[in-house]
Amino acid sequence: MKHLTPLTLLACGSFNPITNMHLRLFELARDHLHQTGKYQVIGGIISPVNDDYGKQGLVAAKHRVAMAHLALETSDWIRVDAWESQQRQWIETIAVLRHHYKELLKSHHIRKLPGENNRPIEKAAGPSFPSSLTDVNIAIRKIANMLKPDKEIIQNGDHMIIRTLSTFKNYIMDFHIGKEFEEDLTGVDDRKCMTCVTWDGDKLLCVQKGEKEGRGWTQWIEGDEMHLEIRVCGVKCKQVFKKVH
């Protein structure tokens, strides 16, 4: 019998209020994952955002959680979890994901995942990553591998804004060519670095000075494709984006 990877689906949001479509999204995601023949969805979690999120018209968390409980009364696999809403302040989705990842491991009495070779879960690494890169959570890496982000680039002279948009996390980089600035990568790999982006011919060259050596990226256009090479500690990866007409 083919081994299926167990998964729990997590949705973070305001749920202000929760709707039928929120629940339908869980069903669609579960059906798709099952159809791949690789995964077995074992549960779903709805995590209402903290009141400090600051969205206009946001109802108090206790009421949004109560509405979610009522909406899920007949579900035998999706549940609402109030942990995120009960924190002292709004927190990044990445922190919520880490919390539930650890809680799920504890609830299933798992101390480490297969193939982790006794490394701590928080520092688990795939076979293609050197030890210097193993402090990125394994769950985050798996999600990143499945994402198909969009890129939006706005240029006004030497001022550029690059938006990386995905269903998991949006990241906005706002900078001036040739001017070093502090880049806060909270929610990406939770680091800060001093970043400078310059032109190298017709390519954008980014150098990021911080905890990791040789960190940065190069971005360039070829026809209708935008190429992005990302580097850190001697390791390189490449993404190719198609232009939307």
Q: What is the CATH number of the domain that holds 176?
A: 2.40.128.20
181 to each of 22, 101, 163, 178, 209, how far by Cα in Å?
A: 39, 33, 17, 10, 10
Whether residue 131 lies inside any domain: the answer is yes
140 lies in the same domain as 175: yes
159 lies in the same domain as 205: yes
pLDDT: which is higher, 243 or 146 = 243
Encoded tokens for 87: 């924190």
Whether residue 116 lies inside any domain: the answer is no
Residue 207 banded pLDDT, cuts 50, 70, 90 = very high
Q: Is pLDDT above 60 for 122? A: no
Q: Judge whether 45 and 8 are in contact, CB under 8 Å.
A: yes
Q: Judge whether 96 and 10 are in contact, CB under 8 Å.
A: yes
142 lies in the same domain as 53: no
Q: How many domains does the chain have?
A: 2
pLDDT: which is higher, 179 or 125 = 179
Task: Decide: pTM greater than 0.85.
Answer: no
What letter does residue 2 receive in the DSSP assignment? -
Q: What is the pLDDT of residues 222-240, one digit of tens each?
A: 998 999 999 988 888 888 9
Q: Is pLDDT above 50 for 114? A: no
